Amino acid sequence: MAKENIFVTVVFALLVFHECYCASASSTTTTTTTTHEVKQVNEEEEAERILGLPGQPKVSFDQFSGYVTVNQVVGRALFYWLTEATHDPLSKPLVVWLNGGPGCSSIAYGASEEIGPFRINRTASGLNLNKFSWNTLANLLFLETPAGVGFSYSNRSSDLFNTGDRRTAEDSLQFLIRWMDRFPRYKSREVYLTGESYAGHYVPQLAREIMNYNSNSKHPINLKGFMVGNAVTDNYYDNLGTVTYWWSHAMISDRTYRQLINTCDFSRQKESNQCESLYSYAMDQEFGNIDQYNIYAPPCNNSDGSTGATRHTIRLPHRPHPFDQIFRQISGYDPCTERYAEIYYNRPDVQKALHANITKIPYKWTACNEVLNRNWNDTDVSILPIYRELIAAGLRIWVFSGDVDSVVPVTATRYSLAQLKLSTKVSWYPWYVNKQVGGWTEVYEGLTFATVRGAGHEVPLFKPRAALQLFQSFLRGDPLPKS
């Protein structure tokens, strides 16, 4: 869950290929879905049906996975996993989920520990059902983007060293166009984009690419809106809000806070050595051994008591990778879920069931690609201009924030969104889930902002029931419940 400026160089320290298919109308088979609707399924689509994953419980929905080539010349292909809605999938929208990094897998995070229908068990021997899965409300399409993330790949190795925001958006658009050719029943479906962390860049950028594509297309993508959580938004205001959060939550001293504010130029692409040293001091000497993605949850510790990797050697948006002792679960939260994913998705039987790694990628599947992350080539300094474009275009836009995340904290998001200077439609109020305050929200002209009380960087991981309520309200376009 976020080589821009100090926000990227430091917050990232915390955050730490096949042929193009075209659907053939003449080669279809009739399949009866689990909810008894009849739909046309072409042969290429049927070849990507998941018959069952190792250790998977019986389910009442269809699944598909595989590759879509987005650049035939160099052989770039993106991997997807579609989990259709549990009931009446033909009437439900298509929701695309993207994780951030840059370089982190939507299979590892979104699908396996946040909004997907399954959870990997502690021994990585099988799967458990997630009763708060978002596919109770929509068809979920998890996309590993850009090439180099997860099972997605490029036959041109240099792509790992020169990718960035622009190519990610362009390739993701090509993926959607070609994927819908393969799954034509989704071509007229309502589409929503969702994601978190550095997907605060991916999602609005892809939305803009789709809108530009639609303006010149005879077959536009029916994009209705997007929703992002704990989203990297604007370098300067994200930085300012992050340092303020650390101080206001007693993570750093008054002295360090003043030095950071007075020394660091948050708008710079790369910070001074003096500022870098202040950040290093704060994290090494003042934070302590905490999970920065949820400051009140236990970290996943190694046997020596350390957290899996050195913070300053990995600029990734998710927890450092643990490979040793598993910390006990408390309050339903397991801080070691990435470990289970890295075991499970490297199993040959799992890869075969997913139609993944069929070109035998010369490296292990990882939750985050460190090489890609360290060599990110281009980034938008601010996403706020894109927000202004998409608000003017009439898209439904929601931004949410787990309020115990110190990596892309709620203060960062509020500082950034405040720069849009939107008129308020519904003033700040507490919203409820299961008769408890789920968080707070304010509805603006063109955008809804919501916090999720007690949630960390990956909101659906920490507060799954509240996240499902948030998603339901978003899809309906209704304000969050006041009681």
Residues taking part in catalysis = 197, 405, 457
Q: Are 31 and 42 a contacting pair, CB within 8 Å?
A: no
| Selection from 224, 246, 223, 205 nearest residue 10 by Cα | 246
How far is 122 from 119, CA to CA, in rounded Å? 9
Q: Tell me the angle at which helices 410-418 and 235-248 cross, rounded to the nearest 10 degrees.
A: 140
Q: Which helix (H) or strand (E) holds 274?
A: helix 273-281
Cα(155)–Cα(386) distance, integer angstroms:
32
Contact 308, 293 (CB under 8 A): no
Cβ–Cβ < 8 Å for 163, 70: no
The answer to whether 148 and 163 are in contact (CB under 8 A) is yes
Residue of 414, 401, 395 lying closest to 222 (CA atoms)? 395
Identity of the residue numbered 324: D
Per the omega criterion (within 30 degrees of 0), is the bond before 146 cis?
yes
First-last CA distance in the chain: 30
Q: Point out which residues pair with 400 in neighbouring strands.
A: 229, 450
